[in-house]
Chains A and B, each alone.
Chain A
Amino acid sequence: MSGDFSRRDLLHKAARGTVLATMAGGAGFLVKKANGQVVWQVDAARCLNSRLGEVGVAACNLCTTECVVSLSAVRAVNEHSRCGRCNICPAYFNITSAVDQRGLPSEKLCPRDAITRKPIGKADPEDPANNFYEYVIDEEKCDGCGKCVMQCKEPLGLGSIALKIRYNRCVDCNRCAISKACPKDALVRVKRMFA
C-alpha cells in the first residue's frame, strides 16, 4: 500500500485539485458577473393590449395561451388609484351588447367573470345610479387574456388596468414562452426591484 501510494495517489490528487480549481474559477467568474436576480416583466407601454393607439383591434391573448404553467403567470391588475370608477366600465361590460332595463349593457366582458363591481362612496340623492364603482379583479380567476386591458384605455378608459406577472406562479423560464410569441416584444427581463 505504502509503495503504491506515491505515484497513483499523487496523480489522483493532482487531477482532483485541478478539476476543483477549474470549477472554483468558473464559479468565481460567474459570481463576479452575476448582477442580482433578473425577472420577467410585462412592459405596459409595449404590450399590445395596454399601449396607446391600439384601438379597434382584437385583444391579444398570447399571455394566456403561451405560458407554460397551468393558470397563466400573467394576470390583469387594476391600479385603483388610477381607475376612473366609471358607471359603465368598458372593461367590465361588453359595451356592444344590448342595453337591459337598468340601462346597462347586458353582457360582461370578462370570459371568466373575474371582475367584481360594487358601488362606493357617497350616493347621489338626485340620481342613485350615478355612483362611483370599484372594480376588483379576482387573482385566482384571471388568466391574463387581456380583454379588459384592451378596453380600459384611450379613448374609453383611463388605462388603469395592465397585465402583470404573478411571481408566485412564474417559473422564470430560460426563454419565456410568452416572450417568444409576443408580437410587440413586451416581455422583458429586468433586474429585480426590491419593494
Chain B
Amino acid sequence: MSANTARTSACATWLFLLVTAAGLAQSIPYQRPVDTAPQEKSIGGGYRTPAVQKPLPRSSWLQLLDVGVLAAAMGISSWLVLKRRSRKALVALAIGSVAYFGFYREGCVCPIGSIQNVALALTDPRYSIPMVVTATFFLPLVMAVFVGRAFCGGVCALGAIQELVLLKPVKVPPRLDRALGLLKYAYLGLALFFVLKPAGGDFLICRFDPFVDFFRRTGPPHMLLIGGAFLLAGMFIGRPYCRYLCPYGGLLAWCTRLARRGVTITPNKELDCGLCVDACPYGAIEKMRAVRRNCLYCARCYAACPRDRKLVQLS
C-alpha cells in the first residue's frame, strides 16, 4: 500500500517535473536580461544610448486624409465634368490622381481591390476591415447612384493612367464591345469565388492588378509585362482594363442605372452633328445620347462639341 503510494507520488513528481520543464521550455523569454548588456553607466565617457527608431504605422489622420482626398477628388471630378465641362481641367485632375493614389500611395487602398476585403468581412466572422476601407469601397458607389461614374474619370489611379496614355482612340465594334464588357462580371464572380473559398482566400484582383507594379516601380516580370501590354493597347483602345475587366466598374455600372444626373449631350442645344459620338473612345454615346453605365467621365465629348465650346466662350 505504502510502496504503491510512494510509486504514485514518484510518478506524480516526475510528471510534475516533466510538465514544468516543458512549460519552462516553452516560456523561455526571447529577451535576455538587460543587465548582461553594458549600459550607459558601465560604458562611461558620457555615452548616451541613441534612440531606436520605433516603426509607427501610417498615422490615422493620414488615413482620413486618403478618404478626404478621394471624396474631394470625386466632387471636383463631377463638378468639372457636369458644370465646367472642361476636359483640360479633368486631365489635370487625372495627373493629380495618378500622382497621389498611384505613385504616392502606391495603389493601396483602392476601391477595386476593396471589393474582396468587403466581401470577406461581410461573410467571415473573424475578419474585419478598418473603417477607411469601408469608406473607400462605398463612397464611389454612392457617388455613382447620384451622378454616375465620377470616380472613373479622373480619380481612379488605374483609370487615370489609362486615360492619360490614350492617344489615338480606335473604335471597338459595338457588339464586340458589349461582349467583352461581360468579362468584368465574370472576373468579379471569379474574384469573389477565390476570396471566399474556405481554404484560405486569394486576392486575385490585387494579384493581377496590371498597373500597381508601375506605381510601386517594382514587381514580378510577368505583371510588369502585362501592365506594359495594357498601357500599349490603351494607347489605341480606350481604357481596356476599365471597360472589359474592372470588377468595380461592373458594380458602378449597376449603380448608374439609378443615377439622376450624369454626362448629358447638351440637352435642347445640340446640332446633331455627331462629333461627340466620334470623340467618345468608349462607345458610351449611342443614338446621340450618353449611356451612363459606360460613360467614364472623360469629358472628351464636351471638348469636341462646337456648340459647347461656343457656350464656354460666351460665358
Contacts and interface: CB of A to CB of B under 8 A. Distances in A.
A108 interface: no
A35 interface: yes
Contact of B130 (A37, A44, A69, A174): A37
A121 B45 contact: yes
Contacts of A141: none
Interface in B111-129: 113, 116-118, 121-122, 128-129
B44 interface: yes
Interface stretch (B51-59, B166-174, B227-235, B292-300): B51-59
A159 B129 contact: no
A12 B50 CA distance: 65
Given A19-B258, A30-B128, A171-B216, A82 B108 contact: no
A36 B133 CA distance: 11
A160 B37 contact: yes
A29 B121 CA distance: 9
A52 B56 CA distance: 26
Main secondary structure on A side of the interface with B = loop
A68 B216 contact: yes
B267 interface: no
Contacts, number: 138
Residue from B32, B60, B109, B141 with most neighbouring chain A CB atoms (10 Å): B32
Name the interface size band of chain B.
Answer: 35 or more
A168 B56 CA distance: 8
A166 B116 contact: no
A174 B117 contact: yes
B57 A159 contact: no
A51 B30 contact: yes
Contact of B53 (A39, A81, A84, A139): A139
Interface in A14-44: 15-16, 19-20, 23, 26-27, 29-31, 33-39, 44
Contacts of B185: none
Given A15-B258, A85-B43, A158-B36, A23 B141 contact: yes
A68 B218 contact: yes
B43 A192 contact: no
A77 B52 contact: yes
B145 A20 contact: yes
Interface string A144-162: 0000000000000011100
Contacts of A8: none
Nearest to A132: B43
B292 to A, nearest CB: 13
A86 to B, nearest CB: 10
B295 to A, nearest CB: 18
11 contacts: A12-B258, A20-B145, A27-B135, A30-B121, A31-B134, A34-B130, A84-B38, A121-B47, A158-B36, A167-B56, A174-B116
Interface of A: 12, 15-16, 19-20, 23, 26-27, 29-31, 33-39, 44-45, 50-52, 68-70, 77-85, 120-123, 132, 134, 136, 139, 158-160, 164-168, 171-175, 192, 195
Interface of B: 28, 30-32, 34, 36-39, 43-45, 47, 49-50, 52-58, 60, 63, 106-109, 113, 116-118, 121-122, 128-131, 134-135, 138, 141-142, 145, 201-203, 206, 216-219, 255, 258, 260
Listed from nearest, the 4 A-B pairs whose CB atoms lie closest are A121-B43, A122-B44, A122-B45, A70-B218
